[in-house]
């Protein structure tokens, strides 16, 4: 039955491809060939290639019964779309193959995922059944389902019980699960010798509705530079100051996971990315020891104009994680320099209370530049990107001197999106180093070598390609700008 369901899904994609619109189609970010995409899951390195799976609905550009889409790459730049790996339809996953993870054991690729069933009306989150399931493949392309490996939650009152992340530790397999008990979130841990028989170990961390939200989705636990990191996607947080303004967030806590399965926190909860569109981040350990991360570069209930073009959703660029004290630092994966095609150096210099149109245009660009705070007097200064000729469309990245914040403003970024996000700039800091990636419908801003990141979707018209430097009420000083045109990989 599974093979027939997969064949049916593939035919649906082939039919839709002929109707797909490409105005907002990413050139070098992973997006579904057609239909809907959300969470990355099953990130793994297998037989010399990186594999990225993702939550996928092949029948429409709306969220629906979740399948597992699949792509692979040798270099983190060029990606090949593979056949859909998992389709719902068995009694235990009939309404969705929800998020999970992938591991390699004995030269075989295993997928561990949540089987989802609506017990009442579809969409009624108070009447569901969720179980943890296993599938495997000998070639990394075609998968065989093995059925349920964890049937019930460890305690009564737990209905939401999903997104298994599996890893190897101390000679055993460990599994982290996000759970909701009443209105409180939990991180649950299991152990196994063989991936098929699992024993409940502990509730590693117990949250409370306030201030921790009501559910921790897509948990990930990993060691990084001598500490353990609990990376997760909390639901139900309220905005606080400049943080947590999206419907849902990506957060992390740095601490220590002991062998009994208890997580001791050593620092405060922090937001991972401060843009408008970043959720369900997951990591893998690369063969060279780097911890790589992808996230869904969209947000629930946000404008998604590409749905009218028969596709929706994209993943962030792969990022390298490192620890800087109690904070994580995210840098673009070093392989992404392989996207660069041509380099121009631009000398902007000082801009005095004006807009300065740059002698460069484009939609697929990478910038490296510095903002010289010590040499500036402007209230605000920075770049306006993806500008229309009449400047009615524009995406702003600038320093606000009065607030001492680096701001990403998409109030006029096209097709219904809006909102402003920002990150702090320390008192006494004299320069800001920026690295910015533009694709047809996204912007990713890396601040001060990845100390902060802002990732957002934008939807300007295809001909909105101008770039200006601007300063308001004073002088804005720009260091040398390196600008690369990036490859259109047709992903």
**pLDDT, tens digit (0-9, with 9 covering 90-100), for 353-392:** 989 999 999 999 999 999 999 999 999 999 999 999 999 9
- The beta strand positions in 261-404, using DSSP E, are 263-265, 270-271, 279-285, 291-296, 311-312, 319-324, 327-332, 340-346, 349-352, 355-361, 365-372, 380-387, 394-400
| Whole-number pLDDT of residue 418 | 97
| Whole-number pLDDT of residue 210 | 83
- Given the residues 7, 23, 39, 288, the one annotated as active site: 39
DSSP labels, 62-73 = S--SBEEEEEEE
For the segment 168-197, the average pLDDT, to the nearest whole number, is 96
- The structure tokens 């298994």 sit at 164
Nearest of 164, 175, 86 to residue 130 by alpha carbon: 164
Inter-residue contact 272 to 281 (CB < 8 Å)? yes
- Nearest 5°: the CA angle 129, 281, 184 is 45
Nearest of 101, 100, 94 to residue 114 by alpha carbon: 100
List, by residue range, all CATH 2.60.120.560 domains of the chain: 337-486
pTM over 0.95: yes
Domain at 337-486: CATH code: 2.60.120.560
Backbone angles phi, psi at 132, to 5 degrees: -105, 135
Question: In 10 A of CB 244, how many CB atoms?
Answer: 19
Q: Is the pLDDT of residue 266 over 90?
A: no
Exposed, middle or buried: residue 242 (CB in 10 Å: 0-12, 13-18, 19+)?
middle
For the segment 412-418, the average pLDDT, to the nearest whole number, is 96
- Let me know if 301 is a catalytic residue: no
Look at the domain 2-332 and name its fold: Tachylectin-2; Chain A (2.115.10)
C-alpha radius of gyration, the chain, whole number: 22
- d(C-alpha 223, C-alpha 283), whole Å: 11
Q: Is the pLDDT of residue 452 over 90?
A: yes
Q: Is the pLDDT of residue 128 over 80?
A: yes
List, by residue range, all CATH 2.115.10.20 domains of the chain: 2-332
| Whole-number pLDDT of residue 157 | 86
Nearest of 255, 292, 233, 289 to residue 99 by alpha carbon: 233
């Amino acid at each position: 039955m599974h093979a027939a369901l997969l064949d049916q899904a593939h035919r649906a994609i082939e039919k839709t491809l002929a109707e797909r619109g490409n105005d907002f189609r990413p050139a070098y970010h992973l997006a579904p060939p057609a239909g809907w995409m959300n969470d990355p899951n099953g990130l793994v390195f297998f037989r010399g290639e990186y594999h990225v799976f993702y939550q996928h609905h092949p029948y429409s550009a709306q969220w629906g019964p979740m399948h597992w889409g699949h792509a692979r790459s040798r270099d983190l730049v060029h990606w090949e779309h593979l056949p859909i790996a998992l389709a719902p339809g068995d009694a235990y996953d009939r309404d969705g193959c929800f998020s999970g993870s992938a591991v390699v054991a004995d030269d075989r690729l295993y997928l561990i995922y949540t089987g989802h069933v609506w017990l009442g009306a579809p969409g009624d989150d108070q009447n569901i059944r969720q179980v943890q399931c296993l599938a495997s493949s000998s070639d990394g392309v075609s998968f065989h389902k093995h059925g349920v490996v964890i049937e019930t939650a460890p305690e009564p009152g737990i209905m939401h019980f999903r997104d298994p992340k599996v890893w190897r530790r101390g000679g055993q397999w460990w599994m982290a699960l996000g759970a909701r008990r009443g209105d409180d979130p939990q991180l649950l841990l299991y152990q196994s010798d063989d991936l098929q028989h699992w024993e409940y170990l502990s509730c590693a961390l117990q949250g409370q509705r306030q201030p921790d939200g009501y559910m921790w989705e897509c948990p990930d636990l990993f060691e990084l530079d001598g500490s353990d990191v609990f990376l997760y996607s909390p639901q139900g947080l309220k905005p606080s100051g400049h943080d947590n303004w999206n419907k849902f967030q990506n957060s992390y806590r740095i601490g220590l996971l002991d062998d009994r399965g208890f997580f001791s926190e050593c620092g405060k909860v922090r937001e991972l990315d401060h843009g408008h569109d970043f959720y369900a981040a997951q990591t893998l350990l690369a063969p060279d020891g780097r911890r790589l991360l992808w996230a869904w570069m969209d947000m629930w209930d946000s404008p998604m104009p590409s749905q009218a073009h028969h596709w929706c959703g994209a993943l962030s660029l792969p990022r390298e994680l490192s620890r800087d004290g109690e904070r994580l630092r995210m840098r673009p994966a070093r392989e992404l320099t392989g996207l660069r095609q041509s380099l121009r150096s631009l000398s902007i210099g000082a801009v005095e209370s004006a807009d300065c149109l740059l002698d460069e245009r484009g939609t697929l660009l990478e910038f490296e530049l510095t903002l010289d705070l010590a040499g500036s007097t402007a209230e605000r200064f920075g770049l306006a990107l993806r500008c229309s000729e009449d400047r009615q469309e524009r995406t702003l990245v600038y320093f606000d001197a009065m607030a001492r914040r680096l701001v990403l403003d998409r109030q006029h970024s096209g097709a219904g999106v809006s909102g402003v996000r920002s990150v702090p700039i320390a008192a006494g800091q004299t320069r800001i180093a920026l690295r910015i990636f533009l694709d047809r419908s996204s912007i990713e801003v890396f601040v001060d070598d990845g100390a902060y990141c802002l990732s957002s979707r934008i939807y300007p018209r295809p001909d909105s390609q101008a770039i200006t430097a601007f300063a308001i009420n004073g002088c804005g000083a720009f260091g040398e700008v390196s600008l690369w045109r990036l490859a259109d990989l047709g992903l």
